Amino acid sequence: MSLVYVILLISCVMVVLLSAGNANGHHDDCPDSFDCGTLGTFSFPFTTVERHNCGVLAIQGCNDPNQTSVKYVQLNNKGKPFQVTHVSSHGRRPRSISIIDKEFSKLLENGSCAVFNYNITVPPSSPMGYFDLQNNISTFNCSHHQHKLNHTNDFINYTNDFINYTSTRCPSSVFYFAPPSYDDQSLSSLISLCSMVKLPVRQDSQFIKNPFGFLNAEITFEFTFSDDCIRCSEDGRSLCRPDSNGKFHCASPTRKSRVSIRNLGLLLAWTLVAMGVVVMILVCCIRTKIFSLTSLLWWRETPTHRIIEELVNEHGPLPTTRYNYLEVKKMTNSFGNKLGQGGFGSVYKGKLQDGRLVAVKILSESKGNGEEFINEVASISRTSHVNIVRLLGFCLDSSKRALIYEFMPNGSLDKFIYEEKNPLQVPHHLNCKILYDIAIGIARGLEYLHRGCNTRILHFDIKPHNILLDEDFCPKISDFGLAKICPRKESKISIFGARGTAGYIAPEVFSRNFGEVSHKSDVYSYGMMVLEMVGGRKNIKTEVDRSSEIYFPHWIYERLASNQELGLQNIRNESDDKMTRKMTIVGLWCIQTHPSTRPTISKVVEMLESEVEFLQIPPKPFLSSPSSS
């Protein structure tokens, strides 16, 4: 129990009381009118986008500091914006809004025949009423094939005084115009044969020779209140308003004020009562020693919280995005696409809001107290290198932990180098050139971790499974759960217990009798991995003649030292042989038993980039073959 819980309890009580007090209210904060710069003031059915629930049609830009800025309105959901030129909503005049449709205006200005087929967007109706096009004329577009008439003038009288227009501008069509006073029955002959649209006309215009002259670029919509709204407003005291669901509501300002004042009094009274009860309970608990006063005043941290605080104090804020568990669940489509499974947990494919694909690693809840997780976030979030996988975010939500990485379409390296890894999944091994480039890329990534960062990062778990490949087979070092951050000046570090995976752990990590743990420990793991890339199989379980099991580093060393053919299936020409020999020599140097005999990772890069003739064969590794169990 802590003071935070007490505050939350009181807050919950206040929220419940406030909700109860406002149960009968609907948008009580809606003002009677809105100020909108050059448009002046307007009222219902119009509103602003900031108070979109207070009306039927919301106008954008009313809160712009520049009062002379252009105002816009969307006539339907997700529709294009239209410039607003005038709003009328006061007195006994009709409630109307005038807009400019730029596309329609341009067609009219250019005298395009397409203007007679243009569909004017009309705002949708609502329970409060509907909008209709004001000062309009019905336009019928009929092809010459449907109406073969011999016209001597641009305008002639047609049946029922419809006005017909033909022009050399629009040779394929005949247009008929009918004022709004004509009913649908009298228009039936044209409606059945021609396409009809309603177009805005000038209020004081007469039919003139050129119809482009009486059509209006400014479009006005008039609002007609529904019967419910009219009945609601008859007494002059009630207001027609939408409720929280957009349905009709008849609001009473006078009643609202009385209810608000009464509810405020009830809220204050009940809040004081609730606080009094809470204080009495706390006093009783303190007297009976259920908990102490100190525990009320300070938040009691969990081990994970303490680790996070210590990490932030030591290394500063984490420079990456933090997500909650619901966001992680959403980006993975409820964990629907599983990429893999390991001792740490599971990996799922996901997508961020910006469309980027990601790999989401969900850690098992039983995995420690969070130290490895936070360690990985702290280590990798400070890196930026082409051969280091990018951490795009993380999740630490109660016991839920996740890491969000950039997605690597080719997966991990181990899928491409082990024969015993289901050969049906990978049609062929990577060729020597690709493997050679991968080896150099990993070495450069390690060199960056050891020398290129502000703080030296030792990985302690370099192995094929932790090397990811992008679409171009560019390698990326991943999984920093066992990494150790240390100052660049320190060449030796202290660790508790062995770190890494069996078969890749340096001897000094097991026993300090072999030397001090340092960046050379990563070099050993790198060498073991390179030799597995060369052999296309695990070092600790290699069947060369398909009948005997031997330790591959010893086997390849004997061949190299006696200048024999390496006898590996992946070698197809002299260039392949040179690259393979170079990788083999480098790998054997890296797995030397004593750390002082191993090269630095920078020297490894230099050796890989030099000619194989200049490389010396190292001494034979001292350790015997590890167990294959």
Which is nearest to 404 in space by CA: 341, 472, 321? 321
**Residue pointed to by tokens 């609001």:** 251
Pairs from 564-569 (Cβ < 8 Å, separation ≥ 24): 568/534, 568/535, 568/536, 569/429, 569/536
Question: In this structure, what token pair is assigned to residue 412?
Answer: 């991990």
Q: Which residue has the tokens 């070495």?
A: 443
d(CA 429, CA 423): 9
Q: Are 571 and 578 in contact (CB under 8 A)?
A: no
Q: Is the Cβ–Cβ distance between 533 and 435 less than 8 Å?
A: yes
How many whole angstroms separate alpha carbon 100 and alpha carbon 86?
10
Sign of CA dihedral 373, 377, 380, 382: negative
β-sheet bridge partners, residue 350: 358
235 is catalytic: no
CA distance 317 to 279: 37
Tokens standing for residue 30? 């809606």
Residue where the block lists tokens 């409606």: 191
Question: Residues 182, 187, 190, 191: is their CA dihedral positive or negative?
Answer: positive
Residue-by-residue DSSP string for 203-264: TT----S-GGGTB-SEEEEEEEE-HHHHHHHTTSS-EEEE-TTS-EEEE-HHHHHHHHHHHH
User: Nearest-CA neighbor of 385 among 459, 314, 463?
Assistant: 459
Q: Positive or negative, the Cα torsion across 326, 331, 335, 338?
A: negative
Cis bond before residue 45 (omega within 30° of 0): yes
The three-point CA angle 265-271-276 to 5° equals 130
| Structure tokens belonging to residue 399 | 């016991």
3-class SS shares of the chain: helix, strand, coil, % to 5: 35, 20, 45
In sequence order, which residues have a C-beta less than 8 Å from that of residue 146 and are 6 or more positions away? 193, 194
Helix (H) or strand (E) holding 304: helix 303-315
Q: Which of 101, 461, 479, 522 is catalytic?
A: 461
Instruction: For residues 558 and 565, give the distance between their C-alpha atoms in angstroms, rounded to a whole number.
Output: 11
Which helix or strand (DSSP H or E) is residue 359 part of? strand 357-363
Q: Scan for tokens 């215009």, then name that residue.
A: 205
391-397 vs 321-323, strand pairing mode: parallel
The answer to whether the beta carbons of residues 248 and 45 sit under 8 Å apart is no
Residues forming beta bridges with residue 388, ordered by sequence position = 477
Instruction: Quote the tokens at residue 260.
Output: 């608000």
Query: How far is it between the farthest Cα atoms of the chain?
Result: 113
582 is in an annotated binding site: no
CA gap 346, 402 in Å, rounded: 10
Nearest to 604 by CA among 618, 617, 592, 590: 590
The residues that are catalytic are 461
* Binding-site residues for ATP: 361
